[in-house]
Structure 1
Amino acid sequence: MMRWVAAEYCVRRSVTLGDPAMRTPFVASVLIAAVVSVGTSPAADVPKRNVLLIVADDLRTELGCYGSAAQTPHLDALAQRGVVFERAYCQQALCNPSRSSFLCGKRPDTLHLWNNGTHFREKNPNVVTLPQHFKNHGYTTRCVGKIFHNWHTQEKGDRRSWSADEFLHYATHGSDQPRVTGALPENLATLCDWNYGETPITECRDVPDEAYFDGRVAAEAVKVLAEVKGEPFFLAVGFWKPHAPFNAPKKYWDLYDRARLPQLDPARPLGAVDLAFHDSREILLPPPNTRHPTPEQSAEMRHGYFANISFMDAQVGKVLSALASLGLARNTVVVFLSDHGYHVGEHTLWGKTSCFEYDARVPMIVATPDGKSGTTQSLAELVDLFPTLTDLCGLKTPDQLDGVSLVPVLNDVSKSVKEVAFTQHPRPAYYDRTESKLPVAMGYSVRTATHRYTEWRAWEDGTLLGAELYDHASDPYELHNVATSPASAAALLAARRALHGEFPPGTPPAHR
């Protein structure tokens, strides 16, 4: 009602200042326009906005538009016509909890989901997902590639969210081996002598894009766009990269001079809590087979990570090109994001599953048909995706979502809709693969405008096991825990209040 009153007031005020002869038609036309623009649903003759949601896997903010050395021309072009969120954060740095969280609009604690092996519907059978909500409102919803996590769960994907069967959504990264006609070209990345599943951890072969999952995902997404172009659609395209193994086609490795890539600083943060770390088993293998990479092996894996990013970017470019050539860009909201960040040797860590900034921070770009663009420092969370897209498309936002709409920020990049962002992670990182199948601790982390504060709490009784505070004004790479520094007392108090407001210390993690 307030929005209508404001619109009506502005119309009447402008009319009184105009030519009296124009008052009646002007009032009628503007009032009608106001009803259409601020009503709760689009008029019948106004086409529904489409949604193209593009999700990368294990991508930290390593894009050209974020100041990275990564060569990502297609995502940089998307950033030029959209809003780039400099400070967007995942709710847990692991595939299944993160994807379940932002696709259901609920935090991991709300879903009671913190591992890769539990499908979100096992504990939340009636939850309505983001694509399901669009489907319920008349949209054709399609899934190409990895959107929901799948491999470790009993239910594969979430068929009820989609109007047709999912494509290439059920697989494991370690089975992404090159498919070619004829002899397989040799692997030119030979320094790392271990595998990721069935595939070498680093692989550089002169093969076409479609030899790997993501090339086939892009090709299918282009086909689906042509199929759905005549109806309102919600198309989710999930790329498997830059997740390991580091096996992009050779031409993407060739984009980089390894010696000129950013040098690795593997330093462990001073004063950090031991629980903040993990054994990097995803990349370096579980004990007792853990590898200890040489500097040369580390450099090869980092090179491969950048090659994977450029490979993924090229596939995004194919999808965006098809969107434009089909004339769909002018009425489609495009969102690009990653499920979480990543470490490639920093802090002694490889992979994800921490509460550090490298893992918690994600790229997020939102391009709307009205062409508003810019870069925002507003804090945002992936859990905000659900209410943002319903808001942009004029759909009713479901009750009891944990996020908020970012549309005010999209309309004005100087605006902010939240003061903090939250991330969490259990210990052990893959606790469901232990004998007890229960965590021993949970890390709760809050990112304020200036600091990151993390508390590690015992799973059963909530006992505080350790705390970390990092000052991003002076320590953007989180190398010095200043939680016990007198100079940081005020920042510590403010961050602690924010964290306790969302995750009260009186409620143990096991009972949330």
Structure 2
Amino acid sequence: MFLNRLILTCWAVTWLAAATNAANPFPQPSPIDHAASSDSPNDRPNVLFIAVDDLACTLGCYNDPISQTPHLDRLANQGVCFQRAYNQLPLCNPTRASVLTGLRPDTIKVYDLDRHFRDEKPDVVTLPQAFQKAGYFSARVGKIYHYNVPASIGTDGFDDPPSWNATVNPRGRDKDDEAMVFNAEPHRKISGSLSWLAAQGNDEEQTDGMIATEAIQIMQAHRDEPFFLGVGFFRPHTPYVAPAKYFDMYPVDTLRLPYSPADDRADIPTAAFAHNCPVPNYNLDEATLLKATQAYYACVSFIDAQVGRLLDSLDELGIADQTIVVLWSDHGYHLGEHNGVWQKRTLFEQGARAPLIIRPASMHRQQDDKLLAGRGTCRRVVEFVDIYPTLTELASIEAPTGLEGRSLRPLIDNPVAAWDGYAITQVLRPADDRLGEPVMGCSIRTDRYRFTQWGEGKHGIELYDHRSDPNEFQNLAIDPDETAIAVMNRLSPILQSKASGKTPTTPFNPARL
């Protein structure tokens, strides 16, 4: 505890010293100007910005039939649960860079795990920087920008120093106990394979438990000034590690693999199947796959408990009413859909769709028939690039020009408001023994349809009607009728206006796609 207090005390001094270091390759944040807002600090809402790594819509508030997530469900009940929110690229580094810059992948030219957005946009003002400019204390605990996990837990990873006044990088026993992790695919690193551990000890010994503890300490230390606090949890990213009690919540004999028709893959282009899952279910048997499913859900409930600690601390500190809480996952996640697709890097619904919950500060909530109009489930199609302009508007702070999303404030005020939304998701599929060249896949999701082009259509096209086919089993682009042709002709130019579909000419690392 003394060390933590010492770290908190020294943060400001450390940052000011760094700002004068000419050798720092990153542009430094603007000095904090407490006159930037005419409001007193207590009148400006805090932001608790919670990111969860590799979290699918496997939550009670997203109607998952087995998930036990009471704290996330509580947050969804108090705010707005966006049922159809879509990331811009289902891979950790690109999607996080997109969210935090408010720009699409084709603008920042980030498609892999190695490229930094400032390589293309050196002067971009990130979301945390926008709050810094408005006089906020900006801090990060855990993974907000990309970490090269799990090897670098305890380091800054692939961070952006100008975004933060302070950073904390906990390292728990999950890292120290890696030798105990079961790896169902020993030829792969545990960070990319189906691997898990029902851990000994309590929540606070794990990295994510330590992240919650450190975040609570920061909220305590800065409760009297406006703060933007990024809290990034590592699980349920592989390896799936959580205390054993969470595994006990999901007995294996109660679990089932997802249903798909036997011929589901017959009408799906080769490029649509991620290179990191080359054969269905990695050729693993059903018993092993069900244990992996158990481990994934165990991690989801473990993270739910840590979010509950954060929410309880806001209440105990008396700052819940003046704090905007946003929870998001960097992308969706597969657990065996389409006859054996696992993990991420796809443009199917399970890869493109991810949780997004926003609870506005109560000072900004509207009253409607004695109920908060901000509460509810929103089924409008929204994008992750919308997060940046939404938070700046909710906090009444200036946003930079050129953001490529739009504020979700109208839907927070009224989740059933008219909204002509669509979402663009893309992914760069590297070459392998099934695909002769790197191919950019681009997908547009409307209220009814998903339309996807691979390599501008040269490597395949997909069209799914979610009104009749929510699991995307029937590709209508194969032998399309007049209606399907008309839909594709209408959606194609919209899609190409936001994502070109061309293989990038800027650097990318095929081994890190």
Mark yes or no: TM-score above 0.5.
yes
* 1:266 Cα deviation after fit: 5.7
Q: Which residue of 1 aligns with 2:175?
A: 176
Q: How far is the alpha carbon of 1:194 from its aligned partner? A: 7.1
Structure 2 residue 105 is matched with structure 1 residue 108: yes
Instruction: Pick the aligned partner of 1:408 from 397, 407, 410.
Output: 410
1:427 aligns with 2:435: no
Give the C-alpha shift of residue 503 in structure 1.
3.4
Q: Residue in 2 aligned with 1:197?
A: 190
Match of residue 130 from structure 2: 133
Q: Given the alignment of the two structures, is residue 76 of structure 1 paired with residue 43 of structure 2, yes or no?
A: no
**Structure 2 letter corresponding to 1:203:** L
Which SS does the other structure have where 1:58 is aligned?
coil
Matched, 1:64 2:80: no
Task: Answer yes or no: is 1:365 the counterpart of 2:373.
Answer: no
Superposed CA deviations along residues 161-187 of structure 1, whole A, max 9, x for unmatched, are: 11113433xx8x9973449xxxx9x88
Output one character per residue of 1:140-160: Cα deviation in whole Å (capped at 9) or x when no partner: 011011000032899741121
Counterpart in the other structure of 1:260? 254
- 1:374 is aligned to 376
Tell me how large the CA RMSD over aligned residues is.
3.0
CA contact under 8 A between 1:175 and 1:197: conserved in structure 2? Answer: no
- Is the alpha carbon distance of 1:120 and 1:99 closer, same or farther for their aligned partners in structure 2, counting shifts above 3 Å? same
| 1:86 matched residue in structure 2 | 83
Structure 2 residue aligned with 1:350:
342
Decide whether aligned partners of structure 1 residues 45 and 105 sit closer, same or farther in structure 2, where only a CA change above 3 A counts. closer
Runs of at least 5 residues in structure 1 that lack an aligned partner in the other structure: 1-39
- 1:248-397 correspondence to structure 2 within 5 Å: 248-265=242-259, 268-280=264-276, 291-347=282-338, 348-368=340-360, 369=362, 370=365, 371=372, 372-397=374-399
CA shift in 2, pair 1:159/1:191, >3 Å: closer
Alignment-mate amino acid for residue 398 of structure 1: P
Provide the C-alpha distance between the structure 1 equivalents of 2:407 and 2:159, rounded to a whole number of angstroms. 26
Amino acid at match of 1:176: K
The 1:336–1:163 alpha-carbon spacing in structure 2 relative to 1, beyond 3 Å, is same
For the 8 Å contact 1:53–1:334, the answer to whether it is kept is yes
Deviation at 1:417, TM superposition (A): 4.1
Contact 2:347 2:426 in 1 (8 A): yes
Q: Which amino acid aligns with 2:272?
A: A
In structure 2, the residue corresponding to 1:492 is in which secondary structure? Answer: helix
Kept in 2, the 8 Å contact 1:57–1:339? The answer is: yes
Q: Could you say if the C-alpha distance between residues 207 and 43 of structure 1 is closer, same or farther in structure 2, counting changes exceeding 3 Å?
A: closer
Instruction: Give, in angstroms, the shift of residue 43 of structure 1.
Output: 3.9
Q: Deviations over 1:390-419 (max 9, x none)?
A: 000001121001111000111111124442
State the match for 2:450 in structure 1. 452
Q: Partner of 1:36 in structure 2?
A: none
* Higher alpha-carbon deviation: 189-198 or 338-347: 189-198
Mapped to 2, the partners of 1:41 and 1:378 lie a distance apart of 32
C-alpha distance in 2 between matches for 1:46 and 1:245: 41
Does the CA contact (< 8 Å) of 1:93 and 1:339 recur in 2? yes
Q: 1:247 maps to what in 2?
A: 241
Matched, 1:150 2:147: yes
Q: What corresponds to 1:3 in structure 2?
A: none
**How far apart, CA to CA, are the structure 2 residues paired with 1:177 and 1:469?**
46
C-alpha separation in 1, matches of 2:504 and 2:397:
35
Higher deviation after alignment, 442-451 or 263-272: 263-272
Q: In structure 1, give the amino acid aligned to 2:445.
A: R
Query: Is it true that 1:500 corresponds to 2:496 in the alignment?
Result: yes
Q: Which has the larger radius of gyration?
A: 1
- TM-score, normalised to structure 2's length? 0.80
Partner of 2:117: 120
Query: Unaligned stretches of 5+ in structure 2?
Result: 1-35, 366-371, 507-513
- Farther-moved stretch of structure 1 (190-199 vs 271-280): 190-199
- For normalisation by structure 1, the TM-score amounts to 0.81
Q: Say if 1:346 and 1:387 are closer, same or farther in 2 by CA, change over 3 A.
A: same
Aligned residue pair count = 447
For the residue of structure 1 that corresponds to 2:460, the secondary structure is strand
CA distance in 2, matches of 1:64, 1:207: 26
In structure 2, the CA distance between the partners of 1:504 and 1:215, relative to structure 1 (3 Å rule), is closer
The one-character-per-residue Cα deviations of 1:125-150 (angstroms, maximum 9, x if unpaired) are 21111001111110001101100003
- Structure 1 residues 467, 305: closer, same or farther in 2, change over 3 A? same
- The alpha-carbon deviation at position 352 of structure 1 amounts to 0.4
Output the CA distance in 2 between the equivalents of 1:344 and 1:224: 35
Tell me the amino acid that sits aligned with residue 247 of structure 2: W
| Residue in structure 2 matching 1:207, options 185, 201, 210 | 201
Give the letter aligned to residue 364 of structure 1: L
Q: Distance in 1 between matches of 2:127 and 2:92?
A: 17
In structure 1, how many angstroms separate the alpha carbons of the residues matched to 2:447 and 2:476? 16
